[in-house]
Each structure stands twice: as C-alpha cells, then as structure tokens.
Chains A and B, each alone.
Chain A
Amino acid sequence: MISLNDFLIVSAVLFCIGLYMIVSKRNAIQILIGIELMLNAAILNLVAFGKYDRFFNGGQMFALFAIVLAAATTAVALAIILNVYRQYKTIDPGRIDKLGDE
C-alpha cells in the first residue's frame, strides 16, 4: 500500500521544480511549462486524497476540472505568446517592456 506521504513528497518536489522554472527561465514557453508542472503537482495531490472519497469522488472530480482549466489557460497563454512574438520579435519576458500605445 502506498502511503499518502509518498504522494505528497513527489508532488512537493514537482511543485518546486515548476517554481524554479518559472523564476529562472527567460523564455515564455518554458515558463508556461513550469506552470503546467505546478498544476500537475496540485492535481496529483487532489487525486491522492480523492482515494478516500468513494461515494462523491470529490478529489477526482476537481482533478478533472483542474485539467480542463489547465487546457483553457494554455490555449489563451499560447495565443498571447504568439501575439507578443508578432509585436516584439522576442518572447523573453524581461524584454517586453512597452505598453500598447508607445
């Protein structure tokens, strides 16, 4: 039997890898991948705790909702990234420093 602590440790490490990617990377696509890693760590926790709710499936249900939300977020974020690339010819967040009317 796998204990809950094992799942928690794996998800904590995944979350911190995602956090590292978000802070250190200088490419919007890699930052997006970091966000996806953090979301997946959260989903792993939801699923691991959802094992203890057989009648209502709360954990699994909200894991499904989180996956759908991640898909929606990614679609919008990638559209934004493409627009930013068209405007600035770069997707380094550090170099995107102008407002729309400048």
Chain B
Amino acid sequence: MSLIQALFYMMSFIALASALFVAATKNLVRSIFMFFVTLFALAGLYVLALADFVAITQIVIYVGGILVLILFAFMLSGKETLNIIAQQRGKFISINKVAAFLLAGLFLLVLLNTFFKVDANHLGWITGSVRANNVITSTSAMTENIGVNLMTKYLLPFEAISILLMVALIGAAHLSRKGEKQ
C-alpha cells in the first residue's frame, strides 16, 4: 500500500467518522464543531483527487464562511434551540429515527449497487481521456488553467453565478433586517 493510499484511507475514515458523530450526537455545539473536522478531511480528499484549488476554496468558503455563519445563527437563536434537543433525550428509539435510518440505509444500498454495476474506472469517456493523455497528473499545475477556463469556456455560468450570489446577498440582508412592523 503506497503512502497516498494510506492517506486516502485515513482522510476518508476521519471524514466518515466525524460525519457519523455529527449525525449521532445530541449536543448541537459539538456537532457543529465536528462538522468543521468533516470539512477539513473533505478538503484533504480533494487534494488527493488532485484538485488543490478546490480544496483551498473549500477551506476558505466552507470553514471560514459557512461554519461561522452557522455558529452565528446558533448563538443568535437563543436557548430554545437547545430545549428541543433536551426533550428528545429521554427516548432512545423513536419511530422518526427508525424510518430515517431505513431510508438512508436502503438508499445507500441502491447507490453502492449502482456503483459496483457501473464500474466507473472503465467508463467509455474515462478510458478515452486516459488514451488521449487528458488526465491530471500530480505534477500538473491546474490553477492557471482554471483561471483561463473560467474567463473563456465557463464565462456564462460564472456570470450567472455572480448574479445569483448578489441576489442571495441582497435577499439575506433583506430577510434578516429588523422588522419595522413589530
């Protein structure tokens, strides 16, 4: 087993274990901080998939932006949010959880079955791109290529997403202002 494989298994173990902890724990603050660990491990997985720019963006936007936003929302919404969780503490298994567990487990079975049937390593376009030498190797620097492509081939999605980002910004500011009516 090479070093990169060992790193992959370690990162995916950290990501999955912390995600399971996030799903299982009763403590909301602790689950938010464990989500932090999940996001960092996922950034490590992106690096192992040779997408270093996406990994950096993940750390800057997710860990720096989204997680702080979630923490803010949690802190601002007072202790009522914790009361709901405390009420659930008594019962171990509720119908709600069994149904959710069944749904998630069956969906996992379907997904895994599909993946093993598809055999992604030998898809037509993937073998084609390997033959055409169109594969990112560990020595190729992709950041410049991403910048050039963003301004040429993907200019329309880029503009669309910037408009959507502005709309979301104005919408969020509008929604979270203090109401004048009350």
Measured CB to CB, the residues of A under 8 A from B are 1-10, 12-21, 23-24, 26-27, 29-30, 32-34, 36-37, 40, 43-44, 47-57, 59-65, 67-76, 78-83, 85-86, 89-92
Contacts and interface: CB of A to CB of B under 8 A. Distances in A.
Contacts of B107: 15-16, 19
A16 B51 contact: no
A34 B19 CA distance: 9
Given A16-B104, A33-B32, A63-B54, A6 B69 contact: no
Contacts of B81: 27, 29, 85, 90-91
Given A13-B108, A52-B125, A47 B73 contact: no
A51 B49 contact: yes
Given A4-B121, A49-B126, 19 more contacts: A9-B112, A12-B112, A16-B111, A21-B22, A24-B99, A33-B70, A40-B42, A47-B54, A52-B130, A54-B129, A54-B134, A59-B51, A60-B142, A61-B146, A71-B61, A78-B172, A86-B179, A90-B80, A91-B84
B10 interface: no
A69 B80 CA distance: 29
Given A32-B70, A55-B134, A75-B168, A26 B103 contact: no
Contact of B146 (A2, A34, A57, A75): A57
Nearest to B35: A33
Contacts of A40: 38-39, 42, 62
Interface of B: 4-5, 8, 12, 15-16, 19-20, 22-23, 28, 31-32, 35, 38-39, 42, 45-46, 48-51, 53-54, 57-58, 61-62, 65-66, 69-70, 72-74, 76-78, 80-81, 84-85, 88, 96-97, 99-101, 103-105, 107-108, 111-112, 115-116, 119-121, 125-126, 129-130, 134-136, 140, 142, 145-146, 149-150, 153-154, 157, 161, 164-165, 168-169, 171-173, 175-176, 179
Given A63-B54, A83-B175, A92-B84, A57 B145 contact: yes
Contact of B120 (A5, A37, A50): A5
Given A54-B135, A61-B154, A23 B164 contact: no
Secondary structure call for the B interface: helix
Nearest to B126: A52
Contacts of A80: 175
Given A16-B107, A19-B103, A29-B28, A72 B164 contact: yes
B115 A14 contact: no
B134 A53 contact: yes
Contact of B175 (A2, A61, A79): A79
